[in-house]
A and B are shown apart, each in its own frame.
Chain A
Amino acid sequence: MKINVNVQNSLSASYTTDLSKEKTILETKNVDLCYVPQVKTLKNVTIQIPEKKVTAFIGPSGCGKSTLLRCFNRMNDLIPGISMKGLISIDGIDIYSPEIKLEELRKKVGMVFQKSNPFPMGIWENVAFGPKVNGIKEKAELDEIVESALIQADLWNEVKDRLNNSALDLSGGQQQRLCIARALANKPEIILMDEPASALDPISTSKIEETIDELRENYTIIIVTHNMQQAARVSDYTAFMMTGEMVEFNATSKLFTNPEKKLTEDYITGRFG
């Protein structure tokens, strides 16, 4: 079955989709990663993520998309026995170098998880959490940050009257948008999203997609998804991974209509995976 992809989608049509013309913000070079010694989960991954674009990672389950994503904010660090080789840099700076402060990196590279995970606190507290742990104390300033983050995440109108209510009282979709707002409150440059809508109903999913669409102007977004239509709808560029290898990285329109690799074509046409 050939997927019917509307790449001439009104939103992304106006963007350049030529990788070589993009400014790179995040770059990996020959990244190998082993959870267990000798077993490479990522194999020689090299990719350049363009700035202020939405990049989608697709690929069959277990191919290492999440693993790669977690390398970008070093969430893998704490896993015992893990080892990584190669270079990952943001704005040309090696994020694994000793000078890098983990907290600063994660402030710069936000993350939204597959399953929404709001803290068991009020909505306001959730959004203000990041700025607070990063040293902002003034209430007025925090209020401002919270408001703008909620507005950007399309949640403000729904929650502005009950900012002190428990975040756990929100619906699943609202919770996920709250998590996006929470990540935005840190004013990150890059937002990593690992299947952010996979646990949501179609309406909530489209809301999330709309949000992503509004964010693309100001943020670099890297999104992992299993839903290829979603990748096609929201992303400017798409990377296809398999068994830990970066098979093809290209403009979304190109990758879905005219993939360079046979493997990619087989995958997007649903021949496996």
Chain B
Amino acid sequence: MKELTKFQKRLKFENKVASGLITLGGYGVIVSVLLIFFFLVLETLPLFWKTSLEKDFEISGKTPISIGMDDYKELVYQVYENGIISYYNIKQKKNIKYDTLSLSAGEKIISSSSTLERDEIAFCTDSGRIINASILFTQEYRGNSRTIGSKLEKYGDFSGNESGKSLENLSFDKNENGNKFWVWTNDKKNVFIKIFDLEEDSNYTHNLTELTGGTKITASAINAETEVLFLSDENGEIFYFDISDYESPELKSHWKVSNNEITAISFLIGGNAMVLGSKKGEVEVWFQIRNENDDLVFTKTHVFENHNSEITKIVPSQRNRTFITIDKLGELHLNYSTTSATNVKFDNEKKGIKLVEFSPTADVIIVADDNSKIGFFNLQNEHPEVTVNSLFGKIWYEGYSKPEFVWQSTGGSDAFEPKMSLIPLIFGTIKGTFYAMIFSIPIAILGAIYVSQFAPKNLAAIIKPVIEIMAALPSVVIGFLAGLFFSPLFEKNLLLILLLSTAAPILFVVIISLWGLIPEDKRRKFSNTWELIFVFIAMVLVFIIFWGISEPLGTYFFDGNIKNWLYTNFNIGYDQRNSLVVGIALGFAVIPIIFTITEDALSNVPKSLTSASLALGASKWQTVQRVVLPAASGGIFAAIILGLGRAIGETMIVLMATGNTPILDLSLFNGFRAMSATIAVEIPEAPVGGSLYRVLFLTALLLLIFTFIVNSLATYIGDKLRKKYARY
């Protein structure tokens, strides 16, 4: 008795431990899935944070002409109208040094223009001088401490006016060869351009007034890289000059862009987009787009919130497509070109903003106002290029002739703009899945029907493990074979492959049905083995027939090259790694899943039901059709959905067997770029915390949600069908 209770105690204890462990395991799975989900959400959320501008500190000082800051945000220079440059150290909270541009007595700087990189500045003075200088920051390391210093370099000056006329609209830029360009006007009418060719060490000065027709010029912008000059006039016209021929700048075009006077223009980074600000406060971005006739057309692509007051200044960021516009009333707008978004509107407590500058990293904005204060504001604007619209909508990118869904996350230059529309990736995933499913569903389900219902036991005993081995094939191997072996093979024998996948099954069925012509009693004498041998012979025969005719057929109908024929007649291009190859390769990964589960479902249909059907005089096939398939429909449905889930999530195969081209094209002969493959390819290159990094996490999150929905659907509908058909 005592021993029994001891035993019972142990049993009780063991039960408790076991059920505890099992419960722990169950909850553990749920918790870890939730954790993954929350982690993905956490990494994704910053994409959608609002832009914010927060005051950090402010210093006193007269309103400068020009202002700048070093990379480490330690030193700020201010250039005043009397030519004095003061350097303010942010850590020490005081001016540490002064420089001077050495103006003549009484001379005053009235405006300045700098390169986008802010590495060289041109000043113009009220006496008509144009002075070039650069204020560069230096870093000195002593032990562990870093000191930021500065260096003023004066590059000389020249006179920019004839006989005491006023000088305005100065624009300056320098290209990577060191060639410099200045443009300015006298009396707002007479336009001059000066070009300095470093290599030739020669200067060119041209008067462009004849080309503009003497209209009143209101703003100018030069891009030294692309060697173009834009001028705007009071009638809302834009003049576009090609200045690549230094000896004779050419007026290429002029366009009427507004009924209002254009009061400020500026290039954005990259030199493709031009921001226009008007007297009425309109802010627009325009692209030069080539039309069908290959002419450049100036096209309005993005419109921003109106200032309701004359635009006085446009300040482009040197990091991305962010730019600030300031109006006459001293309010600033922070805009992001690509998304047409005005992210911040700010009037600094109505103090009248006069001058704005970005820090080199664009996370600080320096604002000088009328009240002799210079404020430093922290800008939270990590992912301006990502919005719900940019992820899922059409966006008009620079260099494109219309708004499009584009995925192109990395590019060669600093000026490259990441384009991260998820639509091509979602489309790619759906396309790959679709082709994989139309390839695999018929094969897997017909195979399962054959094996579970018709095949002799010993054959089924061979087929099933073989297919299970197929499931164990690493997808890298399938992808590798598809990409490197089958792609070229398919390309070489395209017509044969097409025939084999369309006409061949039909011919095969025709041949097989000949078997049915043999009277039933004779047929019964043949064993299953003979039937199989017949099927096999039919298969080989069909293959040989199509192999034989594909070449003459190709020569006769398709001029010997079906690829060219498709292209010239239907404009269908052919990529070597295309959806046909991937569909089949991905199908190989999916077939074992669908086959195995379907086969199980079919085999689990109780024998009593098939017996009942057969006993009622139904043929074997009728029984399969009317009893077995409906009864197994829940399982078959679940099999298809699980296969679908696998196809959606599959990475290696789509990665290796497609060209990974993010295009929106249903064609069987094009590749695609799937979500999973994109994550795999791009995550190693994505800087942690950057926009691409977070967008890839968002992609992963979407994949997770996709597969979650698909699997829930499978469970739900599978259950319903099972309830309906499978209560034995």
Task: Name which of B614, B617, B622, B630 has the most chain A CB atoms within 10 A of its CB.
Answer: B617
Q: Please tell me the size bucket of the interface on A.
A: 20 to 34
Main secondary structure of the interface of B (DSSP, over half): helix
A186 near B617 (CB under 8 angstroms)? yes
Is B612 in contact with chain A by the CB < 8 A criterion? yes
Q: Which of B521, B615, B627 touches A75 (beta carbons < 8 Å)?
A: B615
Residue of A nearest to B457 (CB): A80
Residue A35, interface by CB 8 Å: no
Query: Considering the chains assembled together, what is the distance between the CA atoms of A98 and B619 in angstroms?
Result: 16
| B612 CB contact (under 8 Å) in A102, A103, A107, A179 | A179
> For the side of the interface on B, what is the size category?
20 to 34
**With the chains together, A80 CA to B12 CA distance in Å?**
49
Nearest A residue (CB) for B612 = A117
Q: Which partner residue on chain B sits nearest A129 by CB separation?
A: B616
Please tell me which one of the listed residues A105, A107, A110, A119 contacts residue B609 in the complex, with CB atoms under 8 A apart.
Answer: A119
Q: C-beta contact mask, B606-618 vs A, less than 8 Å → 1, else 0?
A: 1011011111111
Most buried by B among A98, A110, A113, A186: A98
B292 within 8 A of A: no
With A98-B524, A103-B619, A133-B618 as contacts: A117 and B626 at CB distance below 8 Å: no
B617 in complex: contacting residue of A80, A107, A121, CB < 8 Å? A107
Interface check B685, CB cutoff 8 A: no
B615 touches A120 (CB 8 A): no
- With contacts A103-B617, A115-B608 known, is A133 near B622, CB below 8 A? yes
B434 at the interface (CB under 8 A from A): no
User: Is A54 located at the chain interface by the 8 A CB criterion?
Assistant: no
- Pick from B95-103, B185-193, B403-411, B719-727 the stretch touching chain A: B719-727
Query: Does B615 lie within 8 Å of A133, measured CB to CB?
Result: no
Say whether B349 faces chain A, with CB atoms less than 8 Å apart: no
Chain B residues, Cβ within 8 Å of A182? 612, 616
Q: What is the CA–CA distance of A73 and B727 in the complex, to the nearest angstrom?
A: 27
Binary interface encoding of chain B residues 456-469 relative to chain A, with 1 for a CB under 8 A from any of its CBs, else 0: 11000000000000
Residues in B neighbouring A115, C-beta threshold 8 A: 608
* Interface membership of B557, Cβ < 8 A: no
**A111 interfacial by beta-carbon distance below 8 Å:** yes
Task: Answer yes or no: A106 CB below 8 A from chain B CBs.
Answer: yes
Cβ-based interface call for B728 (8 A): yes
Q: Does chain A have a CB within 8 A of B423?
A: no
Q: Does A2 contact B (CB under 8 A)?
A: no
Do A75 and B608 contact each other (CB < 8 Å), given the known contacts A120-B724, A133-B626, A168-B727?
no
Query: Are A186 and B612 touching (Cβ within 8 A)?
Result: no
Q: Mark A96-129, 1 if CB is under 8 A from B, else 0.
A: 0011011111110011010101111100000001
Return the CB mask of A127-144 against B: 1 if under 8 Å, else 0: 001100110000000000
A residues within 8 A CB of B631?
Answer: 119-120
How many Å from the CB of A178 to the closest CB on chain B? Answer: 11
Residue of B nearest to A103 (CB): B617
A133 touching B727 by the CB < 8 A rule? no
Residue contact A106 to B616, C-beta cutoff 8 Å:
yes
Q: Does B617 lie within 8 Å of A104, measured CB to CB? A: yes
What's the Cα separation between A119 and B625 when bound, in Å? 13
Those of B455-501 within 8 Å (CB) of chain A:
456-457
B615: chain A residues at CB < 8 Å are 73, 75, 106, 110-111, 113, 183
The reply to whether A106 and B614 form a contact with Cβ atoms under 8 Å apart is yes
Tell me whether A121 and B616 are in contact (CB under 8 A). Answer: no
A106-B615, A119-B613, A166-B727 given; name 10 further pairs at CB < 8 Å.
A73-B615, A75-B615, A98-B522, A103-B619, A107-B617, A113-B612, A117-B606, A119-B609, A119-B627, A133-B622
